[in-house]
Amino acid sequence: MKERILVLVLIETHGGETNKLRNYEKAILPILQRHGGEFISIMQPIIGTSGAETHVDEMHLLSFDHIAGFGNFQADPELAQHHPLREEAVKSLRFIQGKPFDLKEYFS
């Protein structure tokens, strides 16, 4: 049985390299989609509210049809071909995976 998962990606760029980050995102989008993934939201943190130990320039919320899709996406050789582009833009990435609750059931 497939279970949808969400992945929150916390991104710190090299000196605000958002244009390079956009180029990377556009390049990997077909790979993400091939593995059942999609961008749900791209967010900019509100300054002074995170309290995080590390700086976060951008947050991505991704959805995958199932957990294997995320693993397959990360292991895709075509994605690895784009790592030099990612390394130009991104100083650090953190991934937080979660299984969403059924909110109707949760609040019943």
- Tokens (6 digits) for 89: 């833009």
Q: What is the CATH number of the domain that holds 44?
A: 3.30.70.100
Count of domains in the chain?
Answer: 1
d(C-alpha 21, C-alpha 58), whole Å: 10
- Tokens (6 digits) for 78: 């075509």
The answer to whether position 1 is within a domain reads no
Q: 2-33 pLDDT, tens per residue? A: 689 999 999 999 987 789 999 999 999 999 99
The answer to whether position 35 is within a domain reads yes
The answer to whether position 3 is within a domain reads no
d(C-alpha 42, C-alpha 79), whole Å: 20
- Structural domain of 67: 15-106
The model's pTM is 0.86
Q: What pLDDT sits at residue 48? A: 57
d(C-alpha 89, C-alpha 21), whole Å: 5
The answer to whether position 7 is within a domain reads no
Give the CA angle between residues 86, 95, 103 to the nearest 5°: 135
The answer to whether position 32 is within a domain reads yes
The answer to whether position 51 is within a domain reads yes
The answer to whether position 84 is within a domain reads yes
**What are the two backbone dihedrals, phi and then psi, of residue 44, each rounded to the nearest 5 degrees?**
-105, 130
The answer to whether position 87 is within a domain reads yes
